Structure 1
Amino acid sequence: MCTGRAVVTTTEPVVDPVPPLLRLTWLASPALPIGAFSYSEVLEAAVEQGLVHDDASAGAWLSQQLRLLARGDLAAIAQGINAWRAGDEPALRELARWLRMTRDGAEARLQSEQMGQSLLVWLRGQPMATPAQLALLTACGEGHPMPYAFVMSLALATIDVPVDQALHTQAFGWAENQVQAALKAVPLGQTAGQRVLTRLASEIPAAVAEAIATPPARRQLFAPMLSVLAARHETQYSRLFRS
């Protein structure tokens, strides 16, 4: 295991011709070819159990998921951005392990690994990360598939923007994808979906602030009932989504 701080360097700096704001928008876009549209993140199971049945209950459900995201994966991405920018290899290795260990069900692991691998393929084709950073990312995987949040933290770290801006766009991209899932699974109309998205957008700044303020020792994704629902979704009779 590494100790101390290892600085990632390269003799070939990357010059990205795409402006930072466009890069952030691109990474948060539902059109990014990573398969996010195929996962409802347990929302479909909540609909099956009657926990979500209209726009009000969908908004309440997704608001709870946003708070969980803030203290879990959003906090991990924030810390990953800082670690990549500082070249802190021990912190990166610890973060990659944490992200692998906290996927507590088959569907959650599938989503993290599949989206992570797809994002890595995309990232390798873009003028963003250096060869040294990509090599370190692979090394931190320790032979395992790359977790999505870990690859995303590298992609965001290469963009010259403050961490809070990066997290705002990622949180909104997540919210947009979840609302699209709700439109299909509940189902909801477009106007109802926009009401849900309005609620989530108003809560994102607080979620981002919480994520940035969460130290590594306080990151957590403990939500046992959510895990039970996720397990039930694995054998649900009729499914539109992979989670």
Structure 2
Amino acid sequence: MATPTDILTLGQWFSPAFPVGAFAYSHGLERSIDQGQVRTADDVQDWLDTVLHHGSVWNDTVLLASAYRAETPEELIMIDATCRALAASRERLMESDLQGSAFCAAVRDVWPVDLSDLTYPVAVGRAARLMDLPLELTAQMYVQAFVSNLAAAAVRLVPLGQTDGQRIVKHLTPACRDIAAKAVQADADDLRACSYVTDIAAMNHETQYSRIFRT
């Protein structure tokens, strides 16, 4: 059962003010918008729904849960290596690696935990375990923070109004809850992804001439 302190700690971790630099990454969305594949609020919602159900979010949440349950340093290293291996492009790996390092540094500086640098979802899972935070709530808030960050990116890039961005987050909240609930019951045998268009967009973003976001 989550305590008020648990909820507030997770709210702090996934707040835009927490220094992981999430505002700087679009996960390939910037490229899809630049190419005209994403033009409207409905397009953004469909794009995010695809990433949630068929892209990297599922794998990241499974790896978060695996890191939470890891019992040995060797097991944690293997989970982190798997997360790196599953990155579909150089920029996707950079996104996970740099956000993970920033998250670990901030957590080490603020809370009394021994947290070595890890990829972002693995770092979140490990930190939640070290601080005895509830796994499913951690996973839910991780997934919703992902959606919220990219909805905010779409508000700037499409552009969309702030209200449209919040409607997208609200519409996808049940999916965030469902994916988190299933992912925390999964293991390495359940890792999968099939969102080639978003992966290719992330690859092409690496050479995009004019861009605002790092990925």
- Paired with 1:95 and 1:29, the residues of 2 have a C-alpha distance of 25
Number of the residue aligned with 2:82 = 98
Equivalent of residue 98 in structure 2, options 82, 99, 114:
114
The two structures have a TM-score, normalised by structure 2, of: 0.90
Report SS of the residue matched to 1:213. coil
Instruction: State the shift of 1:176 in Å.
Output: 1.1
Matched, 1:148 2:120: yes
CA contact (8 A) 1:80 1:153 kept: yes
Amino acid aligned to 2:66: Q
Equivalent of residue 37 in structure 2, options 51, 67, 86:
51
Matched, 1:234 2:180: no
Q: How many residues align?
A: 211
The two structures have a TM-score, normalised by structure 1, of: 0.80
Amino acid aligned to 1:55: A
Q: CA RMSD in A?
A: 1.8
Number of the residue aligned with 1:172 = 144
CA contact (8 A) 2:155 2:165 kept: yes
Matched, 1:81 2:53: no
Instruction: State the shift of 1:169 in Å.
Output: 1.1
Number of the residue aligned with 1:126 = 110
Number of the residue aligned with 1:14 = none
Instruction: State the shift of 1:30 in Å.
Output: 1.2
Computing the radius of gyration over CA atoms, which structure comes out larger, 1 or 2? 1
Unaligned 5+ segments in structure 1 are 1-17, 139-145
* Inter-CA distance 217–90: structure 2 relative to 1 (3 Å threshold): farther
CA contact (8 A) 2:41 2:168 kept: yes
Number of the residue aligned with 1:141 = none
Number of the residue aligned with 1:219 = 191
Unaligned 5+ segments in structure 2 are none
Instruction: State the shift of 1:128 in Å.
Output: 4.0
Number of the residue aligned with 1:7 = none
Deviations 1:15-34 (A, max 9, x none): xxx92111110111111111
Report SS of the residue matched to 1:161. coil
